[in-house]
């Protein structure tokens, strides 16, 4: 899978996210502090990763900042992106199943390496729900302005 990854600093699990995704066989595009010559700030880096998803250059994004909140907000400003801030595996699974989330937001501060692996496993093992109500909710997101 093609994944666009953004982080605003090389602290916490920033570099571990990249390594873990590569270990899982994903093709990565890096942004922010993870890429040479890019503005590292969370708003710019997360926007770049989210735009990769919308443009079809990436299937999904993983966006990171100190709390994960700013990265999530920035990614969600890009129409067509459904970013979920996930601090545990069950939230990650639910975000994929019920919300068809296409961007995972992570806190560099609170996500340990062990927790990261649990979150990534849950995220990539889950698939969007085929239930009518879940599909209707996700489709309705495009109508909210």
CA–CA dist 106, 66 (Å, integer): 8
Tens-place pLDDT, residues 120-130: 999 999 999 99
Which is the catalytic residue, given 65, 85, 104, 120? 65
Whether 54 contacts 79, CB under 8 Å: yes
pLDDT in tens, 86-110: 999 999 999 999 999 999 999 999 9
**Domain ranges for the chain:** 2-143
pLDDT band at 145 (very low <50, low <70, confident <90, very high): confident
The full DSSP string for the chain is -EEEEEESSS-TTHHHHHHHHHHTT-EEEEEETTSTTS---HHHHHHHHHHHHHHTS-SEEEEEESSSHHHHHHHHTSTT--EEE-SSHHHHHHHHHHH---EEEEETTT--HHHHHHHHHHHHH------HHHHHHHHHGGG--
The reply to whether 86 belongs to the active site is no
CA dist 84 and 68 (Å) reads: 9
Tens digits of residue pLDDT in 16-51:
999 999 999 999 999 999 999 999 999 999 999 999
- C-alpha separations of 49 from 19, 124, 127, 132 in Å: 17, 18, 21, 29
Share of the chain above pLDDT 70, in %: 100
| Fold of the 2-143 domain | Ribose 5-phosphate Isomerase B; Chain: A, (3.40.1400)
């Amino acid at each position: 899978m093609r994944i666009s990854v953004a982080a605003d600093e090389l602290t916490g699990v920033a570099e571990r996210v990249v390594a873990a995704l590569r270990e899982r066989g994903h093709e990565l595009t890096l942004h922010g502090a993870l890429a040479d010559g890019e503005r590292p700030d969370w708003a710019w880096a997360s926007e770049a990763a989210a735009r990769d998803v919308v443009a079809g250059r990436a299937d999904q994004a993983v966006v990171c900042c100190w709390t994960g909140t700013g990265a999530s907000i920035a990614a969600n400003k890009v129409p067509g992106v459904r970013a979920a801030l996930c601090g545990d595996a069950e939230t990650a699974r639910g975000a994929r199943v019920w919300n068809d989330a296409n961007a995972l937001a992570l806190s560099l501060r609170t996500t340990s390496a062990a927790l990261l692996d649990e979150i990534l496993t849950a995220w990539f093992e889950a698939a969007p729900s085929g239930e009518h109500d879940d599909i209707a909710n996700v489709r309705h997101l495009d109508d909210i302005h």
